[in-house]
Every structure is written in C-alpha cells, then in structure tokens.
C-alpha cells in the first residue's frame, strides 16, 4: 500500500496533522493501534491553554511555561506555541468542537502553574469532546484511510547518495489479519504519544510504552531528556480504579490537598499551595506519603458549591460515584502516577527529525516546549501547533507518485502464527512486569545514583532477554510492545543516570540542587556510537 503520508498514531497530534494534510489534497494513511476514543488525548480532562482573556497575553503564557520548565524550555518553541494557541482553538471550533462558554465568550478555567484563567475546556472531558469531533472528520474524509488494529513494527530507512538517512515507510503488523505488511510513503509522521505506561501505575489506561520513541531510536534518531517523566500529582488511588486521572482543574477551582487528619500541607512545601507546578505538588505528596506511611492523601472539593461541582466536573463526579465516593460531600484518595513524557525524539520547529521524511509530533517528540516539567494544559496545545507546522512543512514538498504494492514483504512470512505460544506469552508478561517494577522503584519521583546504576544494569539484562524472546517468535502486538517497552525503559534510566542534578521532574537525592548550567541529556542512536552527553541541542 502507498500513501503520500503515513501517520502513526491518531491522538490529537496525529489526527490534526492527518486532517490538515487531507484537506489540502494529500492521501493519508493513519495507523490506529487502539480505538480513537482510548488515546491519551481522548483521556485528557482539563483543557487547552490559550491566552484569550482581556487580562492575559501570549507573553504571560510564555512566562508561565518558562517558569514551569525549570530552565530547560527552548524559548523559541514555547513562543511559537503560545502565539499560535488562539488560532489553534479557532481551528478546533471550525472543525466542530464545542467548548464550554460563559455568555458570549469561551469559559476559561485556571490550573496549577498558570497565573491567569486561560484553560479552554469542555466540562472535565475536553479530550473526549475534541477527539470525537476530529475522529468523525477523519472517518468520513475521502482522502484518509484509517487502518485500525495496525501497529508499526519498524521504520523503513535507506541511505541516499548524499549519505543522508531517508524514511520512506514502515513495516506494520495487521492484528486482524495476523500478518506483516509494508506501507510506503513519501513522509512518515510519528504521533504515538509518550511512555507513561513504562511505569507500574500510569494515568493512561492503554499503558503507552513509547512505541514511536523506540521506532525512531532504532532507525537512527537522537533522543533527548527522557529522564523528564512527569508524574501527575492527583491520580485516583482506589482498588477498582488505580491511576484514573483527576483533572488539574479541580485544584484550580479551589480543591485542597489534605492529610487524613484534615491538615492542609501544600503551603508547607510551596507558597503557591495547590496551584504550584506539577513536579512540586507531586514531590510534596510523595514526601507526605512517605513521612506518614500513607498510600494516598485526600483531594477535597466538598467545601465548594455542589451545583458548581456537578456542572464543572460531571465526569469526575460520575466516575467517583460509581466507586461509592460522593465528591460533593467527601474527599478523593489520590497519589502521583506516571503521566507525561517531557523528553522524546529530537525535532525542529516543524516536527522534522534527524531522518529525512520522518516527523514526530505531540508527546513522542522533544521540541523543547516543556523543558524539565510540562505546564498543565500545554500538551494538547503542542499537538495542535506542531501538527499544523509539520503539515505545512510536508505540503511544501510535492505529493508522491503511486508506490509499493499492498504486501511487499521482506524476510517475514505473509501469514504469522495465529497466537504466540502460551509459554512465550507468560514469559513476556513476566519480563514486562520486571521492567516496570525496576523503573518505578529506581527511576520514579525520587531517584538516587545507586538506584539508577542498578536500574541501568537490571534493565540492560532484561532487554537482552526480551530481544532473545522476540527473536524466537514471530511478531505480534504483545511482543512488539514488550520490545519497545524494554528499549524506552532503558533510555529513561540511562538519561536519568547521566543527569547529576535535580531539576523539574528529575529529583536525585545524591544531587539535590540544580546544576549552574541548564543542559540537555541527548542519547545518540545505536546506528551510531551510543553517546550520552549533557549539552544544548542544536
């Protein structure tokens, strides 16, 4: 099969770039590993940041983004993003997205790290509303082909006469047919999301493991700042719903964090209290839990008007009610959980990578926007802004002619075994659990030199076992995910071990202070000499 553009992933970044390209006349194939309504974008609750209020401005939004990023934000990327935010919101509205309104204006909420009310939202289910509108347009657009239950297994790269590596497609596992197919394309866009699922507890129910990061790494791309994994401060801690995301907007609307005895504790950690940036709040909760030997703390909004709660947070209200918690009367048990990957595939301002024809947009990419800690509600915004930039860059080159046949296969039988043997499935499950256990214990919210050294060694051993297992069996969804998990977990641990300081989402007890220089950790791909260096990315 051939397309002008192959988009790997269908969250907000992938959907927006695909739709923009299709509307401009390009033939687009979109790989959907999971249903569109289960992506991380669809699960986003809070909203999209944009300076729209009379007392706000892109300059203030930029200042808040820089402040949250702890000195590692690439200012050009942040400026580009905040200045494009109002037009990104307008584009969504023009594509059928309905946001909450207050009289004749969009209703704007406030969240941690923001000094103004600038969060455009649809109740407390913004991602679901946005993705429903975009998914409908994708599904009905004549130039878009949605390939459901298709998982990218490998990027196809070649070296040009000039010596530059070029990407011209991907080998893809078709889960329904049980075969590997080759999809050729003039441009490939990675929009696979982050790697929060590499940890034991994640806010994302689909447990993403950084598929696109692993694909790009193996193809030859640089990866930056993978140690900067943001832990959302308030994930529900409940036996029937561990890790379910409790929106940041609840604290923005006056939600209070308390110990079981009723004591508020955030102002002991930061003068901004519950409105401090996520890394600060997550470490404060972690510290209180350790100090008092707790599994969770309380997030309380029962002091707020019940009608306001029902109107503003219907999704959270209904979810907690199903668990027997009435949030208008009682607090919610919450604890930090892995949430967002601030590092990723190194890209330029148009989502372009080290490989010609290959782009990365959204959480899979390192643009420099988030620095060492993402500002709340800048994630959906990043996908929209850099999705638009990537689409514009692709459209600046001619569309391609027809390419390869539907099943141009290399070294892989067209039909694979119906199921991986039971023993191999059990071994894959054990290996995945072991990887997540090591990463969570040694590269979680609080780290140390000894723990990280042990993690690098332990994960290296497990990765060897994973590669051996995958070499023995034909690929399937489980084994492809396991291989990517092992790769990305190793990148996180290696990057964390190289950063000898504490900054943003990375806190090392052996180096509790910031280094005087704000430098990035860049890992070079296995196609070159593997190298980790602390330097600014050019």
Instruction: Point out the residues that are catalytic.
Output: 278
Kindly state the tokens that stand for 184: 């050729």
Alpha carbon distance 509, 59 (integer Å): 35
Alpha carbon distance 40, 340 (integer Å): 10
Kindly state the tokens that stand for 330: 């009682």
- The percent of the chain in helix, strand and coil, each rounded to the nearest 5, is 40, 20, 40
Q: Among 4, 35, 31, 43, which Cα is nearest to 20's?
A: 4
Count CB neighbours of 158 within 10 A: 11
Alpha carbon distance 350, 28 (integer Å): 18
State the Cα torsion 204-505-219-9 to the nearest 10°. 30
For every residue of 475-529, DSSP letters joined together read --HHHHHHHHHHHHHHHHHHHHHH--S-BTTB-BTTB-S--SS--EEEE--TTS-
Burial class (CB in 10 A: 0-12, 13-18, 19+), 410: exposed
> What CA–CA distances, in Å, run from 25 to 11, 59, 169, 184, 398?
21, 35, 19, 18, 11
Q: State the Cα angle at 464 between 460 and 468, rounded to 5°.
A: 165
In which element (H, E) is residue 430 found?
Answer: helix 422-442
Cβ–Cβ < 8 Å for 421, 473: yes
> At 382, is the secondary structure helix, strand, or coil?
helix
């Amino acid at each position: 099969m051939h397309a002008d553009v192959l988009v790997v992933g269908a969250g907000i970044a992938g959907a927006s770039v695909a739709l923009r390209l299709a509307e401009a006349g390009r033939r687009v194939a979109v790989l959907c590993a999971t249903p569109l309504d289960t992506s991380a974008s669809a699960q986003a609750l809070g909203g999209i940041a944009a300076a729209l209020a009379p007392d706000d401005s892109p300059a203030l939004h930029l200042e808040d983004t820089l402040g949250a990023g702890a000195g590692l934000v690439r200012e050009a990327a942040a400026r580009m993003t905040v200045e494009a935010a109002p037009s990104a919101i307008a584009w969504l509205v023009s594509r059928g997205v309905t946001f909450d309104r207050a009289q004749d204006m969009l209703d704007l909420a406030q969240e941690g790290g923001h000094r103004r009310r600038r969060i455009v939202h649809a109740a407390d289910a913004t991602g679901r509303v946005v993705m429903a509108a975009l998914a409908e347009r994708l599904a009905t657009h004549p130039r878009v082909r949605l390939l459901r239950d298709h998982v990218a297994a490998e990027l196809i790269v070649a070296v040009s006469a000039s010596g530059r590596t070029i990407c011209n497609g991907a080998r893809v596992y078709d889960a329904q047919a049980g075969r590997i197919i080759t999809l050729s394309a003039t441009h490939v866009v990675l929009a696979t999301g982050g790697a929060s699922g590499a940890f034991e507890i994640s806010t994302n129910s689909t447990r993403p493991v950084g598929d696109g990061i692993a694909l790009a790494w193996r193809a030859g791309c640089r990866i930056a700042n993978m140690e900067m994994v943001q832990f959302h401060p308030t994930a529900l801690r409940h036996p029937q719903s561990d890790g379910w995301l409790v929106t940041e907007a609840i604290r923005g609307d006056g939600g209070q964090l308390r110990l079981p005895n009723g004591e508020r504790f955030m102002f002991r950690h930061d003068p901004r209290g519950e409105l401090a940036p996520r890394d600060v709040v997550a470490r404060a909760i972690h510290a209180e839990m350790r100090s008092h030997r707790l599994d969770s703390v309380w997030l309380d909004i029962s002091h707020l008007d019940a009608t306001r709660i029902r109107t503003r947070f219907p999704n959270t209200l209904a979810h907690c009610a199903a668990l027997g918690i009435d949030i208008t009367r009682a607090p919610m048990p919450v604890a930090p959980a892995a949430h967002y990957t601030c590092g990723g595939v190194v890209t330029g301002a148009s989502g372009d990578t080290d490989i010609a024809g290959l782009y990365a947009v959204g959480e899979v990419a390192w643009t420099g926007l988030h620095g060492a800690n993402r500002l709340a509600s800048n994630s959906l915004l990043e996908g929209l802004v850099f999705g638009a930039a990537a689409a514009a860059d692709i459209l600046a080159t001619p569309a391609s002619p027809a390419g390869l046949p539907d099943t141009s296969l290399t070294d892989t039988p067209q039909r694979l075994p119906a199921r991986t043997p039971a023993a191999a499935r059990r071994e894959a499950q054990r290996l995945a659990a072991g990887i997540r256990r090591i990463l969570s214990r040694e590269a979680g919210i609080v780290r140390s030199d000894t723990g990280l050294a042990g993690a690098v060694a332990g994960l290296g051993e497990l990765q060897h076992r994973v590669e051996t297992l995958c070499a023995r069996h034909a690929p399937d969804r489980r084994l492809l995910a396991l291989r990517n998990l092992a790769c990305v977990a190793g990148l996180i641990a290696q990057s964390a071990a190289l950063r000898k300081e504490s900054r943003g989402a990375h806190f090392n007890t052996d180096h509790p202070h910031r280094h005087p220089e704000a430098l990035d950790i860049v890992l070079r791909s296995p196609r070159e000499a593997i190298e980790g260096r602390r330097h600014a990315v050019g």
